[in-house]
Amino acid sequence: MASCAAVTDSIEIIFEARAAYIAGRGLMHDAAVLVRGGLIVDIVPRSATADLSCRRVETELLLPGFINAHCHVEYSHLRGCLPAGVPFPDWLAAMYDAKRHGTDEDFAAGAREGVKQLLAGGTTTVVDSHSRPATAAILAESPLRYVALFEMIGLDDARAEDAMGLLRQRLAAPSAGRCIASGVNPHAPYTVGPALRARLRELLGERPELPCGWHLAESEAEMEMLASGAGPLADFLDSHGLPRAFETAPGCGAVQYLEREGLLASCDAAFHLNFPAEGDAAVFAPPRLIVHCPGTHRFFARPPFPMWKMLSCGANIALGTDSLASGESLSMLKQLRLAASAFSFLSGVQLLDLATRNPARWRPLAALKPPVGIIAPGACADFASLTAGPGVLADLREILVHPATRVAATFIAGEQVA
């Protein structure tokens, strides 16, 4: 009893929730989440805390802070600037121009805006791919927890050399802010040439702890290029005077291609994987991850993602926003809503898993102590506080999809950040 009293005496904040999503199991009504030192100490009925004197935060629906498993904050200034609903290579050509013509300040402003929108949409942990040093600094100054993936593109030897030099500098820099880990995002099979592949094999062989994610099997055009070496992506490269990533067509899918190149063992995450081959789901079982981005999927008017097949074959699937260059929102609540409308078979718990527990099983996050993505004693006090459109007594799925449900506030380590 004495130790219980000691615990409750030193509580700094009580989050009083009309309903809280506890331990990934379901809603507890009239809950009190006790927080000290940025961590959840205990969860008790609200009525049991009447005698405690400390700061109280009243919330309607308390969820774990969302984990956004794929984002590029530095492209947030491009919202509405690139064509939607067009074939992927047409978008890529517009993106290529936007990247060439944008200034460092444009991308820094994008990163700052991106961070703001992530926080406003309930994200407390983000896996962000970026290449600009300013973006790394902006993330480090933000309250977000993040995994920083350095995006690498290099089709010729000179670009490969440059990209590796910048990566080594980045990896040598001291960890700052709430950085969980730094790693690498070799962009995609069609933008990583033989010299860069060789250097990545060497680096990832030496440093197996580095998180690594690729954009894989995202578009029909990528699949065509892998299968035959031809098609609109090959035309894009030719028309921009860029060399091919491979001299002869691999004649296989994206995951098999990485395996042949000796780069699959080090690949922790597949971004998109819209066109999986047989067996790919099992490859991306925990602690690996497939990241589905509902907003980007809708932006390109893509055929339905094979969510059920991949889940039922053992894949670990999370949601991401991708960037505002190919989507309208960095709100994870909006991604959950889009996922709910695309996958009517997913329950409220399964939907929330896509933004909380599934990404928390990803290797770079799974070892985190204290853990994220869950409201449980000992976990980080990271929360998305929602107003529940249909009320907290409604079914969880119904609450998430209701148009009047919104993120009222976001908390990281117990402190309000949006």
C-alpha to C-alpha distance for 246 and 226, rounded to whole angstroms: 9
Q: Smallest distance from the beta carbon of 324 to Zn ion, in angstroms?
A: 11
Q: Look at the alpha carbons of 30, 36, 42, 44 in this order and tell me if their dihedral is positive or negative.
A: negative
Closer Cβ to Zn ion, 113 or 322, answer by number: 322
DSSP 2-19: HHHHHHHHT--EEEEEEE
Q: Smallest distance from the beta carbon of 185 to Zn ion, in angstroms?
A: 8
Closer Cβ to Zn ion, 59 or 323, answer by number: 323
C-alpha to C-alpha distance for 299 and 296, rounded to whole angstroms: 5
Q: Smallest distance from the beta carbon of 75 to Zn ion, in angstroms?
A: 9
Q: Smallest distance from the beta carbon of 271 to Zn ion, in angstroms?
A: 5
| Residue sitting closest to Zn ion (CB) | 322
Residues numbered 182-211 forming contacts with Zn ion, rule: CB under 5 A: none
Closer Cβ to Zn ion, 222 or 322, answer by number: 322
How deeply is 4 buried, as exposed, middle or buried, from its count of CB atoms within 10 A (0-12, 13-18, 19+)?
A: exposed
Residues numbered 315-334 forming contacts with Zn ion, rule: CB under 5 A: 322
Closer Cβ to Zn ion, 75 or 383, answer by number: 75
Q: Smallest distance from the beta carbon of 344 to Zn ion, in angstroms?
A: 26
Number of residues that bind Zn ion (CB under 5 A): 1
Closer Cβ to Zn ion, 92 or 307, answer by number: 92
Q: Smallest distance from the beta carbon of 76 to Zn ion, in angstroms?
A: 13
**Contact residues for 398 (Cβ-Cβ < 8 A; gap 6+):** 348, 390
Closer Cβ to Zn ion, 216 or 374, answer by number: 216
Q: Smallest distance from the beta carbon of 320 to Zn ion, in angstroms?
A: 8
Using a CB cutoff of 8 Å and minimum separation of 24, what contacts does 364-371 make? 364/147, 364/180, 364/181, 364/183, 364/211, 364/268, 365/67, 365/125, 365/147, 365/180, 366/286, 366/287, 368/180, 370/39
Closer Cβ to Zn ion, 45 or 85, answer by number: 85
- Return the amino acid letter for 218: E
C-alpha to C-alpha distance for 199 and 150, rounded to whole angstroms: 15
Question: Which stretches of the chain bind Zn ion, using CB under 5 A?
Answer: 322
